[in-house]
Structure 1
Amino acid sequence: MGSDNVEHETGERGPGPDVSFGPLKRALREHRYPVTAAELIEQYGAAELETPTATERFGGLLEDCEETQFRDPSDVRGAVLDALGYADASPERPSDDWTSLPR
């Protein structure tokens, strides 16, 4: 289950960002959508994400887009990766699909 927490690609497209969302990933997938960034910050703002070089607070990453409304967990993931400076150039969903829970 370790791959549930680390956001990197294992397919043929090459490595993606190495960001660990930890337990926040499951919480975001189980959350009811649509939701605003402000609501997510209120509920999960203190959660920490691990990158290869730092630990980042979830709330701090989303504070510039508090008015944004997210339709699904992959939108939240994209906003977090944007805030970390990772460009998500691929229009395809990542191999670790954020829209559904593992069975």
Structure 2
Amino acid sequence: MPDDRQGRENQADREENRQRERELEEAEARGDEKEPLFDDESVRLGDLDEALKSHDYPTTTTELVAAYGDYELEIQGNKKPLADVLSSTDDQTYDAAEDVRRRILGLIGR
């Protein structure tokens, strides 16, 4: 291809198309990933959030209640122990702190 203006424009257009294709492929590959929780949701759990981050995983609901059941969560202006919040669920296994936070936030309706 000759090194002229039209050739350079065609090459730039092809590169833009390749870049768009790469971005679409990356977006499709990330489609299965869970979205991270927003910072304000982790703040809602207060000190429990930090404790969950340092906990060993995988873990179960029973183990979480034994370790953190006395932590109190703010729910609609009232405080409720984590043990009470998790008492309505079956014993589940959690692979990460984010999984536990999602479950707790789902149970307290946030």
TM-score range, shorter chain: 0.5 to 0.7
Kept in 1: contact 2:57–2:95 (CA 8 A): yes
Specify which of 77, 85, 95 is matched with residue 71 of structure 1: 95
- Residues 18/37 of structure 1: CA separation in 2 closer, same or farther (3 Å cut): closer
Q: What RMSD in Å do the two structures reach over aligned CA positions?
A: 2.3
Instruction: Measure the CA separation in 2 of the matches of 1:40 and 1:30.
Output: 12
Q: Give the secondary structure class of the aligned counterpart of 1:49.
A: strand
5+ residue gaps, structure 1: 1-6, 9-16, 87-103
Alignment of 1:32-71 (within 5 A): 32-71=56-95
Q: Give the secondary structure class of the aligned counterpart of 1:65.
A: coil
Larger radius of gyration: 2
Which structure has the highest helix share of the two? 2
1:80 partnered with 2:97: no
* Structure 2 letter corresponding to 1:58: L
| TM-score (structure 2 length as normaliser) | 0.57
User: Shift in Å at residue 78 of structure 1?
Assistant: 1.0
Runs (4+) off by over 4 Å: none
| TM-score (structure 1 length as normaliser) | 0.61
Instruction: Measure the CA separation in 1 of the matches of 2:81 and 2:68.
Output: 9
- Residues 40/66 of structure 1: CA separation in 2 closer, same or farther (3 Å cut): farther
Instruction: Measure the CA separation in 1 of the matches of 2:96 and 2:45.
Output: 16
- Residues 31/18 of structure 1: CA separation in 2 closer, same or farther (3 Å cut): closer
Corresponding position of 1:89:
none
5+ residue gaps, structure 2: 1-38
